[in-house]
Structure 1
């Protein structure tokens, strides 16, 4: 190969494969991609403000929901105590009436005989054979009850009346507290509903910003892909066959070109081919990727970004195809990208919700070369920060949150259609559901029926206002993360063939009817299915 030489000048002839950022390339002014270094606040200030507002409303409604639950329990307990006290008072009434009947008959005997009754007189007053046969004991009871039984019965009755009054007051207090909490909950729900107009406006603004950034990002991605195709075309036109190590070639035109190893070209081609695919936290392709899922796909690696860094050989002279591991160190190894040139990398970015070309940030923990032999696992930076957990450039929340967006405030541009109506979900959930729906269609000869998917914060507030005892507190629903569906067409009922099929097959696609929604759990919802929760 004429003009081929390898040496220290190698980096000086690197083709800048990664396109410039949109603001430098003159694309979509004002729609610059966020700084890829993680920080305490999400890069979109409008979304950050929405997050704080939504959190305040969510916290208030959550507190009220818990208080209402306790108040309902207090109402039930006080009602049961009142019923018990009322029964005790009624029993005391009956005892007083019984004692009073004895006294009345005793008084009648006195009036008839103008003196104290004897046993014969009492027997003559008997009203039944039992009274007649029990005349002696009746006489004894009447004599003993003159000063005691009626008084005791009256005292017990008075105590029962007081207990019933106390129980009634307690029940009223519990009911009043429940009514007050319901009123406050209604007020909070109304406040949440009142600000949803502002949310709607800001969310539309945020969505427009994200759409503009995605368009600018697509331009950058397309330009990078074009640069890479042009590089491959030059190699093919010159008849150059890549070898196991990088070399430098001078083309007939006089252009000097680095010829990267075959394994590097194959991996970078895979990464470039994934540009524009959606981000998914557990994505390994080919439909969606996480950052470490992309590098697993490109190089056949295993494990997380940290696990990859632990076994790959580190290098200090990064070349195209090498991996760059991103911090800052206090977050541990939270991101990994495929190096394109000294300035840019390809990564599945959680905040940009896709596989993108982005600048290599300053918080680099190290570079590694997958083409070199693996080493025994070595220590790598571990997370020491006790705050938010970052992964692939975005916040990874244990509640199911993703990409740094608040629950129910995810722009439509960050979601993917499921192929039924206008329903949308997080992209990995959407793609998985499409596979589930295809299998269902093969089994039943008709498409699946869906009534609800991603649920905005505004929709959560409305539903909570209608069904506060059943609906999730706004800002906590898995519908608001784009990870839940409500089904119809038979699957919404226990005991149907459709529900039985879902129970038997949905798990293969990552979907489940959660345990709290199953029969006997107090909140049966056969129609509600969640992805990867």
Structure 2
């Protein structure tokens, strides 16, 4: 509105460039671009290659972990089969020895009385033809039975020996297979470890870049907040109370001032008051926000950015407090911000991991005015690009990543303290954990004890090398997303009062001991708790 002063904060030229749309993003370590392949959070080609190599190693380790698990099971089964076969062979040994002993005793008894039985002795001892025939038949049956018993025992022994030999070979093959897999797993772990040095330098560079951007952004946010306060203070000083509609007033100085609607003043005040709060993928405040969560909180809206655009009345003359919906169109409605003036807005930006003052990008898809009545839902731009999914200026990685950073490669500046030592988590998890710890403190007189929180890729590799049977494959752990903690101080053991309290209360804060870590699941970890996983 030419000639109409909206307030110093709303016409101030941005001190530094805010978050850029995806198609305008620069090549900054830790930044994302539409040309990145799925799962690649870095635009720099050298870093992208590093990440691809790490992904290859991660897949190899994952495959090997499954194979090793199967091989361990095969070793257990083959060892059990060998033990069973050995026991059967030993029983057959005993049976043969027993039959042989019986034969020896029988022969000795006969020789000690009548000598070795034969047809001639039967003839000499027979008192009648029937005695001879009966004795001959009896002797034949006795000899046949004795021979059959011994022969059967020998045959069973031979079968048991063959079974034991086969079981021994199977056990050796299973052990050799497990040994080979362990060697290959060690080689892959070494390759992963070799990457960590390069990742360490890259992560430090990304962290420095994010810190620099956040510092510049902090200055811009503070200036904008101060300008907005000056505007609202001016209204108060002039005795002007906003009404339901925008009005223009003339100040004693003769200067005209735009007085925004009361709902707009409240919404912009809320958005400006959120400046500097962390970005999280799902956040409606008051501690952290997503971009559509910020507009939901400021205006009491519902749904995603696209759903908000569908029901709000569109406008072509954006005013302070209107919403700007951001594309590009091929990504659909991927972000939304609260307009401050024709060039700037307040939004929760995924790349800067915070609520910031940002330039309105050229990829704006349209504007809408929340103060106008809602309309029936209308079609809005839908995603047609088959590549990465963009949200709030960052990438939602298929693997569950956020802000475009891969697992274990999140700059420390993008995480938040949990109030215990130097431990940090994703900001929504951190704030929720603080609430959980405070409630625990009320019950037990002390805060929760923590041994592990966010775990870098390097730390995951090191832990996997020490405990491959327990640790997650590097790059897959929820610790690497900043969404898991390992607890101590009594909470690490099932059956304690501390653990029982957590089982009963942690869910209220979004935390749980995941099913795979619970008793009877084969990998019991009562100390491991995850945020927002179901």
TM-score (norm. length: structure 1):
0.85
C-alpha change, 1:140 and 1:120, in structure 2 (3 Å) is: farther
Aligned length: 506
* Alpha-carbon distance between aligned partners in 2 of 1:33 and 1:373, rounded to the nearest angstrom: 44
Shift, 1:390, TM fit: 2.8
User: Which residue does 1:168 correspond to in 2?
Assistant: 168
User: Which residue does 2:23 correspond to in 1?
Assistant: none
Contact 1:75–1:174 (CA under 8 A) maintained in structure 2: yes
User: Which residue does 1:489 correspond to in 2?
Assistant: 489
Greater shift, 491-500 or 221-230, is seen at 221-230
Answering whether residue 280 of structure 2 is matched by residue 286 of structure 1, we say no
* Alpha-carbon distance between aligned partners in 2 of 1:138 and 1:441, rounded to the nearest angstrom: 91
Contact 2:5–2:257 (CA under 8 A) maintained in structure 1: no
User: Which residue does 1:315 correspond to in 2?
Assistant: 315
User: Which residue does 1:407 correspond to in 2?
Assistant: 407
* Alpha-carbon distance between aligned partners in 1 of 2:328 and 2:491, rounded to the nearest angstrom: 47
Shift, 1:33, TM fit: 11
Shift, 1:400, TM fit: 4.2
Unpaired runs of at least 5, structure 1: 1-7, 25-29, 122-135
C-alpha change, 1:35 and 1:152, in structure 2 (3 Å) is: closer
Answering whether residue 68 of structure 2 is matched by residue 68 of structure 1, we say yes
* Alpha-carbon distance between aligned partners in 1 of 2:17 and 2:283, rounded to the nearest angstrom: 29
User: Which residue does 2:328 correspond to in 1?
Assistant: 328
C-alpha change, 1:208 and 1:288, in structure 2 (3 Å) is: same
Equivalent residues in 2 for 1:498-517 (5 A)? 498-517=498-517
User: Which residue does 2:134 correspond to in 1?
Assistant: none
Contact 2:92–2:157 (CA under 8 A) maintained in structure 1: yes
Contact 1:31–1:209 (CA under 8 A) maintained in structure 2: no
Shift, 1:34, TM fit: 9.0
Equivalent residues in 2 for 1:362-401 (5 A)? 362-397=362-397, 399-401=399-401
Query: 1:276-296 CA distances to partner (integer Å, 9 max, x unpaired)?
Result: 100122211111111111101
C-alpha change, 1:142 and 1:95, in structure 2 (3 Å) is: farther
User: Which residue does 1:246 correspond to in 2?
Assistant: 246
Shift, 1:331, TM fit: 3.3
Shift, 1:356, TM fit: 0.8
SS at match of 1:329: coil
Answering whether residue 147 of structure 2 is matched by residue 143 of structure 1, we say no
Contact 1:31–1:212 (CA under 8 A) maintained in structure 2: no
User: Which residue does 1:124 correspond to in 2?
Assistant: none
Greater shift, 97-106 or 310-319, is seen at 97-106
* Alpha-carbon distance between aligned partners in 2 of 1:462 and 1:43, rounded to the nearest angstrom: 23
* Alpha-carbon distance between aligned partners in 1 of 2:29 and 2:263, rounded to the nearest angstrom: 30
* Alpha-carbon distance between aligned partners in 2 of 1:85 and 1:387, rounded to the nearest angstrom: 57
Q: 1:20 aligns with which of 9, 14, 18?
A: 14
* Alpha-carbon distance between aligned partners in 1 of 2:120 and 2:290, rounded to the nearest angstrom: 100
Contact 2:493–2:527 (CA under 8 A) maintained in structure 1: yes
User: Which residue does 1:447 correspond to in 2?
Assistant: 447
Shift, 1:188, TM fit: 1.8
* Alpha-carbon distance between aligned partners in 2 of 1:495 and 1:39, rounded to the nearest angstrom: 51
C-alpha change, 1:219 and 1:137, in structure 2 (3 Å) is: farther
| Runs (4+) off by over 6 Å | 10-15, 30-37, 109-112, 118-121, 136-139
What RMSD, in angstroms, separates the aligned Cα atoms of the two structures? 3.2
Shift, 1:31, TM fit: 10
* Alpha-carbon distance between aligned partners in 1 of 2:245 and 2:266, rounded to the nearest angstrom: 13
Contact 2:31–2:404 (CA under 8 A) maintained in structure 1: no
SS at match of 1:487: strand
User: Which residue does 2:231 correspond to in 1?
Assistant: 231
TM-score (norm. length: structure 2):
0.85
Shift, 1:468, TM fit: 0.9
Query: 1:77-122 CA distances to partner (integer Å, 9 max, x unpaired)?
Result: 211222232233223323333443355456657866665448999x
Answering whether residue 254 of structure 2 is matched by residue 260 of structure 1, we say no
* Alpha-carbon distance between aligned partners in 2 of 1:322 and 1:506, rounded to the nearest angstrom: 39
Shift, 1:14, TM fit: 8.9
SS at match of 1:347: strand
Unpaired runs of at least 5, structure 2: 19-25, 123-136
